[in-house]
Amino acid sequence: MMLPMKNLWMLLLLCLALSDCKDKAIDPESYDGDYPYYRVGGAQIPTHPTRFENTPQAPGTYKVLFNNHDWNHWLYIAAGGGLTPRSASLFGLGMLAVGGVDCDREHFDFAIPAKVGMYRYGKEVAYDVKFPQNPNFSMINCDASSGNSVEADQTANNWVNITRFDTLSKPNEAEGSFDITFKIVRKNPNYSIVYPNTIRMRGSFKQQFNPK
């Protein structure tokens, strides 16, 4: 049974559209989507149920978004926080996302004054562009840097809001939220994973910790 000419044209247009989508490659330099993807094969990095692994010395609860979705493209995220080694007047929160068959990973952290308040980078708290940077987002391949150059986007409204900071209770507790945007200013063309040019990390935390 032959299809009417109108239906044949519609079928042809659909095939052409699907072919165009399939053959269109993502340009690593201009890519600015939501998820990272593998350079070889061009497949989006797989996702998993979000799972945080806390250190016994610093248990906490977290909600973290990578761009517009759960930070779920790794098997688990190790998280911890507390007074920073360099200063007891600073509270730092760090997260390391790991998993998969290789040792690629992502690291995110920030440090702000250890007391209740709204801290906007570039206003209440300064950007630190030295190593290690504050705030910081980095990609790590095993024990080495990915070669991507990542900086906080100083044109964005980057902030951390501490709504509770209690050093009298045992254990000590800190609670708050954050919204920080990073930009990749230089991409390593040989790194195994291609990242979007813009990375926005936002979420909330409730962290228990003990002073050093």
**Per residue in 148-186, pLDDT tens?**
899 999 999 999 999 999 988 888 899 999 999 999 999
As a whole number of Å, the end-to-end CA separation of the chain is 80
Min mean pLDDT across 60-74, 95-109, 113-127, 156-170 is at 95-109
Question: Does pLDDT of 4 surpass 90?
Answer: no
pLDDT per position as a tens digit, 152-162: 999 999 999 99
Residues 103 and 97: their CA atoms lie apart, in Å, by 10
Q: Are 195 and 104 in contact (CB under 8 A)?
A: no
Per DSSP, 58 falls in state B
Residues 143 and 105: their CA atoms lie apart, in Å, by 10
Alpha-carbon torsion (115, 118, 121, 125), positive or negative: negative
Mean pLDDT of the chain: 84
Per DSSP, 39 falls in state T
Question: Does pLDDT of 2 surpass 50?
Answer: no
Question: Does pLDDT of 128 surpass 90?
Answer: yes
**The pLDDT value given to residue 41:** 84
Residues 50 and 165: their CA atoms lie apart, in Å, by 26
- What is the arithmetic mean of pLDDT over 29-56? 86
Residues 167 and 115: their CA atoms lie apart, in Å, by 9
Q: Which of 11-25, 31-45, 138-152, 174-188 has the highest mean pLDDT?
A: 174-188
Kind of pairing, strands 69-70 and 198-209?
A: unpaired
pTM exceeding 0.85: no
Residues 87 and 77: their CA atoms lie apart, in Å, by 25
Distance from chain centroid for Cα 195? 10
